[in-house]
A and B are shown apart, each in its own frame.
Chain A
Amino acid sequence: MTRTLRIVSILLLAAAVAVVTVPMAGDAHGKGTIKVATQSPLSGGQAALGEGIKLGAQLAIDKLKGPLEKAGWKVELVPFDDQAKPDVGVANAKNIIADKDIMVVIGHLNSGVAIPSSEVYKEQTLAMISPANTNPTVTDRKLPNVSRVCGRDDVQGVVGSEFAKGQNAKSVYVIHDKTAYGQGIADFFKADAEKKGLKVIGFEGTEEKSNFDPILTPIKAKNPDLIYFGGIYDQGAPFFKQAREKGLKSKFMGPDGMDSSDLTKIAGKAVVGMYYTSAAGPASALPKAKSFVDEFKKKFSKNPEPYAAEAYDATAIALKAVEAAAKSGKVTREDVSAQIRKVKHSGITGDIEFDGKGDRKKALYFVLQVANEDPTKWGDNKIVKQLTIAPPAEKK
């Protein structure tokens, strides 16, 4: 006990000295600092996607902070690791609202973290712009501070089934990854496909990441016209690859989680000709998207992950809103939240404008087809269809 006590005392002394001597970095100059926080998993199994969000935001800040800096503000990015865990996300959220300089949060990756965390932001009407949470609940709560630049599960599922119908697919097999995102889209795809008269001959979820053989065996026996995978490319790519290796001839389709050059890097020629839906246009068709990809590659020497573009747009909107709020000379969180809803932004993922709930008013969706097995030619993917769809009307 004595020894423990001694150690505790020494540590206490050290802490006390440090508190007094280590000054917290205070606001240095000008009108002060505006901080943009990101919250996404930076460690653990989903770190790659989480980092994409952080990097997208970082690129946007570096590129677009000019006007604010000219006006005398210092603009900084504060990345938080939410570890994809709700309790960590909430603690971070409390930490974020305690930092008065943080005016907006870009995040999260997981709806499971976003929902409880946004309850915390709400207390101070701190704006959160989500690049990735497609779960309808995120905006259906009608919080004044929560908006999202990504689509909704219900919309994207519908885009998919609409297209599948047009492709003359009579039977479809739906697989999803058992996450809120993947299953959400798959559910809506299935429901809408059935409504449109397509035959859904299988609907299954799996957390498996590597070995899809046992799942593919019955699919092969049932031989559907189209297989829809609701999930992210790192699971979808091995799935499709193994499916082709196993000799399946069906058409493949997936949501925007498949929109990554890594899809072809992993699955190679297996996914050539596959369809995916996306709100972000391909680089070849949209010059903005092309320059984003180029700049991203130049800065971070890799291709942007899914949601990096959304994070970029979200940050751009955030900065615009802050600029608008800053015109009064003083930036408040309520102001920024309110301004975000007024921003009209023409971003990489199309024209963005929010409705009263924080959803995109009308979103332009693309259906794209993978053109080449070479990952560096991901940008060549062709738009095979464009759809403009508004978020679903309020249900009671």
Chain B
Amino acid sequence: MLFAAKGITKRFGGLTAVKDVDFTLEGGIAAIIGPNGAGKTTLFNVFTGLYTPDGGEVKLDEHSLIGLRPDEITALGVCRTFQNIRLFKAMTAIENVLVGMHARVELGLWDVLARGPRFRAVEGEAWRTARTLLERVGLGRQLHTEARHLPYGDQRRLELARALASKPRLLLLDEPTAGMTGSEARQLMGLLRGFVADSGLGIVLIEHNMRVVMEVSDRVTVLDHGEKIAEGTPREVQTNARVIEAYLGRRGAHSAAP
């Protein structure tokens, strides 16, 4: 099992944001869906160490992630993007990606100050990798544009590249297509499939664009009010009555069932 979370519970004051949720991934692409405020992002924050859960266990390859700092979790191979895009806005695109590589750079203070051949080799390699990554997500021409000057869709792509730069085994994407046009979103999904095929990377995505979810994901987990209410293939989930009611609304259910 690549990634397994068991019995995750997270409370904020009196509110239980996530209640006893199990989630596993062996590979491929999984989607977590649910209405806004269902607890999806909270779950991501637990997975990446930003929140410590009130209960439950998170494991990557049998390594427990509970109690680790976010940077340690990233070093182990879990990286993410953010719902509201948290790029380093004053840094250029390529610098953003280079920061993403931080955990993989094996240089000490002395290497940096001395600028020896080792430094140049490692740094050169990092720049090449960063460039390749940016080219792959379609930002090859904007390497030296400051992140804040990029259009919304490009910022999403840059965030993806930055996350990929840490060579994750598991990539968590929070609404990767928000703010993209339909064709852009499709393109991105193709890209994600490509990454999965190339490197055996596991991807979990939170997504509202149902078209995207249905097209790209191998499995779908549905959350509502912090609880998992359904799980299965896209088709299974789409026809699940409870899902239709909770997520699409009762009227949606009426009109969706001809």
* Direct A–B contact in the complex, CB atoms closer than 8 angstroms: no
CB within 8 Å of B: which residues of A?
none
